[in-house]
Structure 1
Amino acid sequence: MVTTVRHLGPNWYASVMGTAIVATAGATLPVHVPGLRTVLVGVWALSFVLLVTLLCARALHWMHHGDQARAHLVDPAVAPFYGCLSMALLAVGGGGVLTVGRDWIGMQAAVALDFVLFTAGTVVGLAAAVAVPYLMAVRHRVAPEQATPVWLLPVVAPMVSAALGPLLVPHLPEGQAQETLLLACFAMFGLSLLATLIMLPMVFTRILAGGPLPLALTPTLFLVLGPLGQSTTAVGKFADVAPGVVPAPYSQGFAVFAVLYGVPVMGFALLWLALATAHVVRARRNGMGFAMTWWAFTFPVGTCVTGAEALARHTGLVVYDWLAVGLYVVLVAAWGTAAVHTTRGVLSGVLLAGPRPVPVVLRPATVRTTSGAVR
C-alpha cells in the first residue's frame, strides 16, 4: 500500500469533485426522471467514499514519502492542485450532503457533516489561494509563457465556498450569524472573482500568442469554466437566501445582481466552452490519450449546469432549463468516460506507477506525461 501511494498527487481529488458534482447538479434539474434521485444519492455516496479513501491515501503519502510530498509544493505543475483538496471537501460536503446525501444519512447528520467539511474546505481553500501564488512568485519562478488554466485552481476554491456556504445559512441562528456567513461568502466571491480576472488574461494570452497547449494539458482549458459557472451559481444562491437575512434594499439587490451578473458571464462561459471543445477535438485528432487531466471535463461543466439552473430560477426562462439539461448530459458523458479510463488505469497500475502525478510543463510546447514520455 505504501508503495502504491508513492506517486499519488493532489490532482486525484479532481475525481472526487467530478463525481460529487454529478449528484449535486442532477438534484435540481428542471425535469423529473423516475429513479434519478436514488441514483444521485448513490453517486454522492460514491464521492464520499472516494474522498475518505483519498484522504487516507494522501495521509500515508505524507507519512512515508514526505520528501516527495514537499517537492510537490515547490513544483509549479503540481502545487496548484492543492486547490482541488479544498474543492473536494466542499463538493462532497456543502454541495452534496445537503442536496442529496441527506436522503441517506438524515438531515441532522447532513448538517453536521456539512459544517465540518465546509469549514475544513474553506480554510484549506483560503490557505491555498494565498500560499500557492506566493510559492509561484518566490519559489517556482514561472514565466508568462508557461501559464495554463491549472493556475486558476487555488484561486477558484474560495468561489466554491461562496457558492455552497449559503446552503448552511438557514441552519444558523437568525440575525448576526446568518448575515455574517452570507456576507463572508460574498467576500469570498469577490476574492476569487478578482483573482480570476487577473489570471485569466494570462491564460488567454498564452493560448493566442503561444499556440495550443500540449496535448496532455489541452483538457485543462475546461477549468476556465469553473469560476464562470460557479460564480453564476453563487450569485443565484445569494439571491435565494438573502430575503430575511440582510436588510430589504440589499436583499433585492442580490436578486438583481443574480441576473445582471449571471446572464453575461454564462454567455462568456458558452463561448469558452466552444473554444475549449475545438481545442480538445484538435488535440484528439493529433493523438491525445487519456490522462488525469480528463477530469477537467467534469466539475467545471457541472458548475455551468448549476449556474444555468440558478438563472432559470431567477429569470423564469425555459431556455436556461434546457441549457441545464443539455450541459448535464455532457457532464454525465464526461464523468462516465473519465471514470472508466481511471478505473482501468488504476487496475492496470499505470496511473500509480509514473514518475510524476500530473503533466508538467517544461517549455511552452513540451510536456512530460505520467508515463515519462515527452510530447
Structure 2
Amino acid sequence: MSRIIDYPCKPLSHLPHPREVIRQFTPNWFAATMGTGILSLALPAAYPALYGLGEALWLLNIGLFVLFSVLYAARWWLFFDEARRVFGHSTVSMFFGTIPMGLATLINGLLVFGVARWGEAVVPLAQALWWLDVAMALACGVLIPFMMFTRQEHSIDQMTAVWLLPVVAAEVAAVSGGQLAPHLADVHGQFSVLITSYVLWAFSVPVAFGILTILMLRMALHKLPHANMAASSWLALGPISTGALGMMLLGGEAPEIFAAVGLPGAGDVAAGIGLIAGITLWGFGLWWLLLAVLITLRYLRSGIPFNLGWWGFTFPLGVYALTTLKLGAVLNLTFFTNAGCLLVVALAGMWLIVMNRTLRGAYRGELFVSPCIAGACT
C-alpha cells in the first residue's frame, strides 16, 4: 500500500529563485518594524517587570530594520529600473512613510533601553538619528503627496487609510522629539528640538485630519474597501493617538525648557494645551477604535486574506495604548492605567499572530510581491 507523505513546505518555494527576495522587496516590510518597535516600548510602560522582554524586542527590531534596509538598498542597486516604478504606484508608494516611523521606534528604544544600559553616551547617537528621521519624515510628507497630485492615478472609491502613512511620519518624529529633549544637556539644543517637534506636529496632524474627513466620506459613499485592505481601518487610529501623545509629551517638557530661555508663560500655556489636547484626541481615538473593531468583525465573516498590511493592526493600537497609559500617569486615574494595560495585552496577542503569519509567509516566499513589476505602475 502506498503512503502519502506530507513534506513541509520548502523555503521560498513560491519564488523561482532566491534572488527574487531582493527583486520583489517593497517598503511594506518596514511596517513590521513599526509594530515590533511599538510593542517593545509598550510592554515595559504597562508592565515594568517585562522590561527585559521589551529590550529584547527592541534589539530584535534593530536587526529587522537593518536587514530590511540592506534588502531594499540592494533592490535599488540591482534592479534600479524596476525599483523606481514604486513612485508611480498609488498604494505601495505610501509605505515609504513606514521607514522613518520604524526608525523612530528604534530611537525611542535607544532612549528607554540604551540610556539605561550604556548611559548618556548614547544620547548624541539618538540625536543624530532623530535629525535623520526628521529629514526623512519631511521628505515623505511632501514628496509622496506631490506624486499623488502629479503622477499617480487615484479615485475616491479606491481611497483607503494608507494615504495617511507618508503624512503621519512627521508627527511620529515629533513624539520622539518630546522624548529626546529632556536627555539633552544643552538648553538651546532642547529648545531647538522642542520647537522643531511642534512644527512637525503641525506639519502632519492637520493634513492627516483632512485625509480622515475624506476617508469618512469615501466610506459612507462607497462602503468598506476590499478585504485585502481590511487592516487599513485601524490606520486612522494612528494619527489621532500620535497627535495626542505628542502634545502631552511636548507639553510636559515645555515649562522647564521655555523657562530656561526666558519664556515661562509660554511653557505653562503649552502644558495646559497639551493635556487638554491629549484628553480630547483620546476620546476621538476611542470612537475610531470602536469603529475599527466593528469593521474588523464585519470583515471576519467572510475571512481576511493575510498580507503585510496586517501590521496595520499593531502600531496604531500600540500608540493608543501608550497614550492611554500616559493619561493614567498624568491624571492619576486608574481607569486609564487599567485600560492601557488591557490594550497592551491585546497588542501583544495581535503581534504574535501577525509575526507568526509573517514568518511563515516569508519562509515560503509568499509575501515577496512587488506590484510594480507586473506593470501596475510606471
Partner of 2:56: 42
Is 1:22 equivalent to 2:39 in the alignment?
Answer: yes
Identity %: 27
5+ long unaligned stretches in structure 2: 1-17
Shift of the alpha carbon at 1:4?
1.5
Deviating more after overlay: 298-307 vs 140-149: 140-149
2: CA distance between counterparts of 1:113 and 1:173? Answer: 14
What are the within-5 Å matches in structure 2 for residues 256-295 of structure 1? 256-295=272-311
1: CA distance between counterparts of 2:34 and 2:126? Answer: 15
Is 1:53 equivalent to 2:59 in the alignment?
Answer: no
1: CA distance between counterparts of 2:370 and 2:194? Answer: 44
Could you say which structure has the larger radius of gyration? 2
2: CA distance between counterparts of 1:299 and 1:361? Answer: 28
Shift of the alpha carbon at 1:87?
0.5
Contact 1:159 1:192 in 2 (8 A): yes
Partner of 2:20: 3
Partner of 1:133: 145
Partner of 1:368: none
Amino acid of the residue matched to residue 332 of structure 1? A
Shift of the alpha carbon at 1:27?
2.5
User: 1:161-207 deviations in whole A, cap 9, x for unaligned?
Assistant: 11111222133343332212101101111111111121111111111
Is 1:215 equivalent to 2:236 in the alignment?
Answer: no
Deviating more after overlay: 7-16 vs 309-318: 309-318
Partner of 1:356: 371
2: CA distance between counterparts of 1:12 and 1:231? Answer: 24
Correspondence for 1:66 among 80, 103, 110: 80
Shift of the alpha carbon at 1:296?
0.4
Partner of 1:112: 124
Correspondence for 1:313 among 320, 329, 340: 329
Shift of the alpha carbon at 1:113?
3.1
1: CA distance between counterparts of 2:317 and 2:187? Answer: 35
Partner of 1:123: 135
1: CA distance between counterparts of 2:156 and 2:288? Answer: 21
Contact 1:258 1:311 in 2 (8 A): no
Shift of the alpha carbon at 1:28?
2.0
2: CA distance between counterparts of 1:145 and 1:137? Answer: 17
Q: How many equivalent residue pairs? A: 355
TM-score (norm 1): 0.90
Deviating more after overlay: 226-235 vs 20-29: 20-29
Partner of 1:365: none
User: 1:60-112 deviations in whole A, cap 9, x for unaligned?
Assistant: 0111111221111110111111000110111111x2111124345x1245323
Shift of the alpha carbon at 1:32?
4.2
1: CA distance between counterparts of 2:161 and 2:223? Answer: 14
Shift of the alpha carbon at 1:130?
0.3
Shift of the alpha carbon at 1:146?
2.1
Partner of 2:109: 96
Shift of the alpha carbon at 1:254?
2.2
User: 1:134-162 deviations in whole A, cap 9, x for unaligned?
Assistant: 00000013122222100000110000011
2: CA distance between counterparts of 1:101 and 1:177? Answer: 20
